[in-house]
Amino acid sequence: EYAYGNPFEGDRDRPWESFDFLLQLNFSDKSLIGRGQAKGLLYAGLVGEFLLEHLARIPVETEYASEFRYRNPIIKDRTVVIAISQSGTTTDTNRTVDLVRGRGARVVAIVNRRDSDLTFKVDGVLYTSSGRDIEMSVASTKAFYSQIVAGALLSLCIAGLRGRLDD
């Protein structure tokens, strides 16, 4: 029994509504965390990288979305990309998601703004709900910490699915 509902049932009132799709993923030997331009997203991505590697034992690379698409990255059909965005409308992040999806990657978004461009392009969304949905291009402490918490929840969920957590 879950205190706030079963996160794998896809309850639309919960920020973890799309975790059920993780059950279908077969992670390869690498996962990528893409992020927008803000430095806060860089640090949130690096914390997520540490947590995924430490808890789920999946090698991870964290990159700027703006630079990622210009270096001809190697994307396998089992690569999982985690796109981190405050607004979900950043051109670089959206173009990078288009690129990796075109090469067969699965994409999970950590985003604040519901119904943003990014949310319609990905396999699963983890909403941070860290402020008004109309806020765009706003660097804030609440957005930063909510992205870290979302990355931690996602890392714990993936580690649990991979049987890496002790009771």
pLDDT category of residue 50 using cuts at 50, 70 and 90: very high
pLDDT category of residue 136 using cuts at 50, 70 and 90: low
**77-102 pLDDT tens trace:** 778 888 888 888 888 889 989 998 99
In whole numbers, what is the pLDDT of the chain averaged over residues?
Answer: 75
- What is the average pLDDT across 31-58? 78
State the DSSP string of the chain: --TT--TTS--TTSTTTTGGGGGG----S-EEEEE-S-HHHHHHHHHHHHHIIIII---EEEEEHHHHTTS-----TT-EEEEEESSS--HHHHHHHHHHHHTT-EEEEEESSTT-GGGGTSSEEEE---S-TT--S---HHHHHHHHHHHHHHHHHHHHHTT----
Q: What's residue 30's pLDDT?
A: 58
Q: What's residue 69's pLDDT?
A: 75
pLDDT category of residue 129 using cuts at 50, 70 and 90: confident
Q: What's residue 26's pLDDT?
A: 58
More confident residue, 94 or 141: 94
